[in-house]
Amino acid sequence: MTATTVKTSPIEGQKPGTSGLRKKTKVFMEPHFLENFVQSIIDAIGGATGKTLILGGDGRYFNDRAAQVILRMCAANGAKKVIVGTNALLSTPAASNLIRKRDADGGFIMSASHNPGGEFEDFGLKFNGANGGPAPESVTDKIYNRSREITEYRIIETQDADLSKPGAAKMGDMEIEIVNPVTDYADLMETLFDFGAIRDLFAAGFSIRFDAMHAITGPYAREILERRLGAKPGSVVNGQPLPDFGRGHPDPNPVWAKDLMDVMMGPDAPDFGAASDGDGDRNMIVGRSIYVTPSDSLAVLAANAHHAPGYAAGLSGVARSMPTSRAADLVADKAGIGSYETPTGWKFFGNLLDAGRVTLCGEESAGTGSDHVREKDGLWAVLLWLNILAARRQSVAEIMAAHWAEYGRNYYSRHDYEAVPKDRANDLVTRMRGLLNELPGKEFAGLTVGAADDFAYTDPVDGSVSERQGLRIAFTDGSRIVMRLSGTGTEGATLRVYLERYQPANGELNLPVEDALAPVIQAAEEIAKIREYTGKDAPDVTT
């Protein structure tokens, strides 16, 4: 079994986006595409010689084949050991945990997150570093640069490794350790939360519906919620991971998790509803007849985390991505702890977490997490909610009402315009950039612009600067519009418009969201001419 060096040449389009490289599966399956990218990663991290790496993915179509290629390339590049989940499965947070727990040098995560999976859908690959978090931009830039000059990759020719059950194997000189993908993660959750209190809650008749959306969290949720915590068998639905996610769109939001929404808004709703995405890092929280926006969820978790043993000592600070509503800032301000605003993408939280500046982080896109790993973590958010519900013995609706009565409410919505021709989307952004300086002082839909800029972030830990991270228009009444183009789409451009309006605690706290936001939505249209540029009368997805 010898390593072969295969001649290759650069392939266009290997620039990692918001979260690794995502492409149509067919593109990933083209000759040399995966191999070029994997070799570029290995080269960018200074080679694999002597390293221990983690490997796993969300089980989507091509996950199994890609895993064997990555193993063969790790072996050919001199890796000491690869620790891989059975059948090459690992949720993203579980992979992050394994990297940290096993002191690995990093890990490959095969996933396109919430993007649909299948032969004609999406595949993805990203690299996480030794802290368990997504490679920072300095590394992803290196990967990209390497992909543009690559001339060869190394691989060994050998039989596939049998990954069907836990155990040990060898590929060339490289060791392979196959582990149960759930156990270490479930054990970690037991250290953070009061499983006894949550068990008591379920024993008292509390009901939950967890929708795994035919994606990776099914086995995790069954083990933790049903087996370890005693939720009624059947509480986990769509729990069998499928390569095409049952042809669904495993993105936990009211649009794609409509079944769950319908149940939770219906007459026989359980006490608590939740869902997670393709690779298990996103979460959706729904109470009986009440949907909790991810921005509000982050704020409520920040205000109540002390109920969980893992956070009893309080939080060091809270971070949110720039487009996320400012609800969490209000909690941080009141608690006298730091609050940080970072660009979109979990990789920007890594330094803050590593430096101990923040304990909790979150994004409006249904990502919430803490310093327990370096990824957002869907089931973790569900368990923290359950711990809080167990401690407070109130309903989700009661907890939300009390929260808004204390802090006021940040009405919030995101409008997505999908598959917009790239040049039209770029034109819209370019025109907006040119307008920013003229906006302050002008009035739109009765709102006066206070400030407008293109968000630039200076990392307070390492001083690195990330520019052009989203257009922000702040109005004098505290309302806000943010616009940016998605960095994860695989087809055309996706324009995201984030809308926010603050009502203080003595204001109107129970308006329908679209009503509360109506002037902000109108102002966005007047300023950005969204209809004209996208050619669409309405957003494709509203969350």
In the bound complex, what is the minimum distance in angstroms from residue 140's beta carbon to ligand G1P? 13
Return the exposure string of 381-412: e unless at least 16 CB atoms fall within 10 Å of the residue's CB, then b.
Answer: bbbbbbbbbbbeeebbeebbbebbeebbbbbb
Q: Which stretch binds ligand G1P (CB under 6 A): 230-238, 310-318, 460-468, 484-492?
A: 484-492
Pick out residues in 5-24 that bind ligand G1P (CB under 6 A): 18-19
The DSSP string of 264-292 is: HHSTT--SEEEEE-TTS-BEEEEETTEEE
Interacting residue with ligand G1P among 197, 487, 492, 511 (CB under 6 A): 487
| 223 sits near ligand G1P (criterion: CB under 6 A) | no
Distance CA 14, CA 237 (A): 36
| 238 sits near ligand G1P (criterion: CB under 6 A) | no
Q: Which stretch binds Zn ion (CB under 5 A): 110-118, 315-323, 401-409, 502-510?
A: 110-118
Judged by beta carbon, residue 19 or residue 387, the one nearer ligand G1P is: 19
With 0-12 / 13-18 / 19 or more C-beta atoms within 10 angstroms meaning exposed / middle / buried, residue 2 is: exposed
| 122 sits near Zn ion (criterion: CB under 5 A) | no
In the bound complex, what is the minimum distance in angstroms from residue 116's beta carbon to ligand G1P? 14
140 makes contact, choosing from Zn ion, ligand G1P, none, with CB < 5 to 8 Å by partner type, with none
DSSP state of 122: E
Helix (H) or strand (E) segment spanning residue 258: helix 258-265
Pick out residues in 498-517 that bind Zn ion (CB under 5 A): none
SS3 for 235-255 is CEECCCCCCCHHHCCCCCCCC
DSSP state of 324: S
Judged by beta carbon, residue 83 or residue 328, the one nearer ligand G1P is: 328
Interacting residue with Zn ion among 279, 296, 375, 416 (CB under 5 A): 279
363 makes contact, choosing from ligand G1P, Zn ion, none, with CB < 5 to 8 Å by partner type, with ligand G1P
Maximum Cα interatomic distance, the chain, rounded to a whole number of Å: 73
Judged by beta carbon, residue 20 or residue 317, the one nearer ligand G1P is: 20
User: Among the options 40, 91, 96, 113, which is catalytic?
Assistant: 113
In this chain, which residue has its C-beta nearest to Zn ion? 113
Interacting residue with Zn ion among 36, 39, 77, 113 (CB under 5 A): 113
Binding footprint of Zn ion, residue count (CB under 5 A): 5
* Residue 175 neighbours by CB under 8 Å, 6+ apart: 80, 81, 82, 168, 169
Neighbours of 187 (CB within 10 A): 12
In the bound complex, what is the minimum distance in angstroms from residue 429's beta carbon to ligand G1P? 13
Whether 411 and 503 have beta carbons less than 8 Å apart is answered as: yes
279 makes contact, choosing from Zn ion, ligand G1P, none, with CB < 5 to 8 Å by partner type, with Zn ion
Pick out residues in 335-364 that bind ligand G1P (CB under 6 A): 344-346, 363
Q: Write the binding mask 490 to 509 for ligand G1P: x where contact by CB under 6 A, - elsewhere.
A: ------x-------------
Judged by beta carbon, residue 378 or residue 519, the one nearer ligand G1P is: 378
| 377 sits near ligand G1P (criterion: CB under 6 A) | no
Interacting residue with Zn ion among 281, 296, 364, 377 (CB under 5 A): 281
Binding footprint of ligand G1P, residue count (CB under 6 A): 14
The DSSP string of 354-406 is: HTTS-SEEEETTTEEEETTSSS--HHHHHHHHHHHHHHH---HHHHHHHHHHH
User: Which residue type, as a one-letter code, is found at position 31?
Assistant: P
| 277 sits near Zn ion (criterion: CB under 5 A) | yes
277 makes contact, choosing from ligand G1P, Zn ion, none, with CB < 5 to 8 Å by partner type, with Zn ion
Judged by beta carbon, residue 223 or residue 416, the one nearer ligand G1P is: 416
With 0-12 / 13-18 / 19 or more C-beta atoms within 10 angstroms meaning exposed / middle / buried, residue 53 is: buried
Candidates 131, 182, 543; CA nearest to 375 is 131
In the bound complex, what is the minimum distance in angstroms from residue 17's beta carbon to ligand G1P? 6
Candidates 165, 179, 261, 272; CA nearest to 213 is 261
In the bound complex, what is the minimum distance in angstroms from residue 213's beta carbon to Zn ion? 11
Judged by beta carbon, residue 279 or residue 371, the one nearer Zn ion is: 279
236 has which bridge partners?
Answer: 210
Distance CA 396, CA 288 (A): 7
The tokens for 232 are 């009624």
Instruction: Quickly list H helices, 60-216.
Output: 63-76, 92-101, 137-147, 183-192, 195-203
| 365 sits near ligand G1P (criterion: CB under 6 A) | yes
In the bound complex, what is the minimum distance in angstroms from residue 344's beta carbon to Zn ion? 14
| 486 sits near ligand G1P (criterion: CB under 6 A) | yes
In this chain, which residue has its C-beta nearest to ligand G1P? 486
Q: Which stretch binds Zn ion (CB under 5 A): 70-78, 280-288, 315-323, 339-347?
A: 280-288
Candidates 266, 282, 149, 142; CA nearest to 212 is 282
Judged by beta carbon, residue 367 or residue 519, the one nearer Zn ion is: 367
Tokens 């620039």 identify what position?
15
Instruction: Quickly list H helices, 292-357.
Output: 294-304, 327-335, 350-354
345 makes contact, choosing from Zn ion, ligand G1P, none, with CB < 5 to 8 Å by partner type, with ligand G1P
Judged by beta carbon, residue 93 or residue 317, the one nearer Zn ion is: 93
Tell me, yes or no, if 96 is annotated catalytic.
no
In the bound complex, what is the minimum distance in angstroms from residue 215's beta carbon to Zn ion? 9
Q: Which stretch binds Zn ion (CB under 5 A): 273-281, 448-456, 522-530, 531-539?
A: 273-281
Distance CA 534, CA 421 (A): 8
Return the exposure string of 341-362: e unless at least 16 CB atoms fall within 10 Å of the residue's CB, then b.
Answer: bbbbbbbbbbbbbeeebbbbbb
Which residues are part of the catalytic machinery?
Answer: 113
The site for Zn ion (CB under 5 A) is made up of 113, 277, 279, 281-282
The site for ligand G1P (CB under 6 A) is made up of 18-19, 113, 321, 344-346, 363, 365, 367, 486-488, 496
